[in-house]
Structure 1
Amino acid sequence: MTLYDRFAAVIAAWNAGDIDAALAGMDEAVVWHVAAGALAPLDGKAAVRGFLEALRADMAETRWSIGHHAEAGDRLFVEGIDAYTRRTGTAVAMPYAAVIEFADDRIVAWRDYIDTRRMEKLREGAPAPAHVVALVARLRQD
């Protein structure tokens, strides 16, 4: 099984609303930078669970997808779309990139690179600018 296959299982579990299955792919000591450089990381599986539960409570539907990936040693590099609909009905779709590190078939480190300011504006219902719409459309077609 490739690193991508392992990560794809986490994505599939998250999109299905199964937090336990998503967490099964992570090490107990996982460190997840949900917005690398912008926010402090989540330290450990318990912190990740709390974050995912809060996020899930706000989401009516998730459509997170990866369009491209590359593997190098114990690292997986991904590019895709973080897409979901909030319980308020607001649809959000943002370009997304991440670096995920594995040890013993589990995620031990995860760094998401995303524009947190733009994401927050979209979450509040602001329309996506044309360049974001174009990039999301391109990633959906790739």
Structure 2
Amino acid sequence: MSRHEIFHALVEAWNGGDVDAVLSLMTETVVWHIAAAAIPPVSGKAAVRAVLAKLRSDMAETRWRILRHAESADLLFVEGVDAYRRTNGVEVAMPYAAVVEFEGNLIASWRDYIDTRRMESLRAGDTPPDYLCALAT
């Protein structure tokens, strides 16, 4: 199974609301940079589970998708769109990129690169500019 196929399974599990399946694809000592360089990373499955549970509690529907990827050995690069509807009805669609490192067939390190200010603006219900909409379709 390729790194992309493993990550695609994670995306499908997340979109299906299956946090346990998401976690099953990570090492016990996984390090997740939810917004690399913007906020501190989350370390270990228990901490990741807590973050994922908090995120899910505010998502009525998720439509996360990967648009492009490249992989080499134990490294996967992805570009995609984090799209979801919040429980308050606000629609969010934000382009992002990530670097994912594997140990065997499990994710050991994950760095998401995202504009946190724009994400918070979208989460608040602000209308995205046209150029952002073009990237998120």
Same fold, judged at TM 0.5 (above): yes
Aligned residues: CA RMSD = 0.5
List runs of 5+ in structure 1 lacking aligned partners: 138-142
What aligned pairs does 1:64-83 form with structure 2 within 5 A after superposition?
A: 64-83=64-83
* Structure 1 ranges of 4+ moved more than 2 A: none
Taking only the aligned residue pairs, the percentage that are identical comes to 58
Q: CA deviation at 1:4?
A: 0.3
Amino acid at match of 1:133: C
| 1:119 match: secondary structure | helix
| 2:136 match: secondary structure | helix
Amino acid at match of 1:82: D
> What TM-score does the superposition give when structure 2 sets the normalisation length?
0.99
Which residue does 1:89 correspond to in 2? 89
How many residue pairs end up in the alignment? 137
Whose helix fraction is larger, Structure 1's or Structure 2's? 1
Whole-angstrom CA distance in 2 between matches of 1:104 and 1:66: 22
> What TM-score does the superposition give when structure 1 sets the normalisation length?
0.95
Say whether residues 1:22 and 2:48 are aligned partners: no
Say whether residues 1:124 and 2:130 are aligned partners: no
Which residue does 1:6 correspond to in 2? 6
Whole-angstrom CA distance in 2 between matches of 1:100 and 1:74: 8
Q: CA deviation at 1:136?
A: 1.3
Amino acid at match of 1:127: T
